[in-house]
Structure 1
Amino acid sequence: MAKRLSNESAIGDVLKEFIQTNKLQSGMDKIDVEAAWKSLMGNGVNSYTKEVVLKGSTLYVSLTSAVLREELSFGKEKIIKMINDELRKEVVTAVVLR
């Protein structure tokens, strides 16, 4: 059973405890990485993005444009750094563009 928190806990603390207790952090990271991709890449890249999936610490991005895929492949390290900076923790260690 989960430990009971006092009635005076902040909602953020309660949510963190709930996420930890139920082992939901990996699912939350998947959602956060997808949102970070959309906000950081802008409308131009997002219009050619089919799918953004986080498996483990590898980010898989499906693109509909081979030219865009080639351009983004030159900046993989920058993409990793930007996403991790946006999330304020190291979630992504590799990017695979498909």
Structure 2
Amino acid sequence: MPFTQAFINESFRFKTLLPLNLMRSSVENSSILGNFIPKNTRVLANIWAVHNDPKVWLNPQIFNPNRFLTDDGKEVIKIDALIPFSTGKEILKTIPLVKQFK
């Protein structure tokens, strides 16, 4: 069953369901990579860009479920850059989304 899960994960990555996340607002003044973000700033996550970033994914234009499997194919690898449906406050801890603010 690991390959089935890897195939589903790669399907979500390859054809992003929601390319742009819902508009959100920052609830307090904050800083991301040295960039000041004032309270109540509208923030929009570009999930498509995260799923197609060559800095995160090797050959992102190629459908490859094996990127989610260990070398022996027996276990699924959890990759934080996979955002199949939406983002929430927990996703801000992942590097790929934060890189968008550079």
> For the pair shown, which has the larger CA radius of gyration, 1 or 2?
1
Which structure shows the higher strand fraction? Answer: 1
TM-score greater than 0.5 by the shorter chain = no
Q: Which TM-score applies when normalising by structure 2?
A: 0.28
Which structure shows the higher helix fraction? Answer: 1
Larger RCO, structure (CA 8 Å, separation 6 or more): 2
